[in-house]
Amino acid sequence: MIGKRVSGCLWFVVALFLTTCDTTTGPSEGITVYEHPNYGGSARTFDGSFNDLDVVTGPCRGFFDAPDRPGNWENCISSIRIPAGWEATLYEHDDYEGDGLIVTSDISDLDDVMGCGGDWDNCASSLQVRPPR
């Protein structure tokens, strides 16, 4: 009896924790991309599309980028979080060209997703974002 009550209590705490997390992340702000797998490193939330991620200041630097330029998000994204109802499409190249990947739920490691000439890790160069309808 006591054991059951304790585990019920634990579930309540877990549920409360999850609810609190949802509130702090703001589930309808947009999709969030991460520099590293498992939602690690720098993060940025997008509520609209970008046809060229190298104009978006971020943590990555391309081979041909001038050293005095700030880092950016081109060929950088390694994981992505999608709130319920949102949808994103990653594109291999600028201007929504090349291979495309429609994402409707979280992906913890784009290294596991085939496409983009190999896998999708550090590959997206443009990004379309669609809010819930």
Q: In the complex, which residues of this chain contact Ca ion (CB under 5 A)? A: 35, 52, 54, 74-75, 78, 94, 122, 125
- C-beta of 21: minimal distance to Ca ion in Å? 24
- C-beta of 26: minimal distance to Ca ion in Å? 23
Nearest residue (CB) to Ca ion, 22 versus 95: 95
12, amino acid identity: F
Nearest residue (CB) to Ca ion, 52 versus 109: 52
Of the candidates 80, 86, 88, 77, which has an alpha carbon nearest to the alpha carbon of residue 124? Answer: 77
Of the candidates 103, 66, 97, 83, which has an alpha carbon nearest to the alpha carbon of residue 29? Answer: 83
Query: How far apart are the C-alpha atoms of 80 and 77, rounded to whole Å?
Result: 7
CB atoms within 10 A of CB 125: 25
Nearest residue (CB) to Ca ion, 32 versus 75: 75
- C-beta of 12: minimal distance to Ca ion in Å? 37
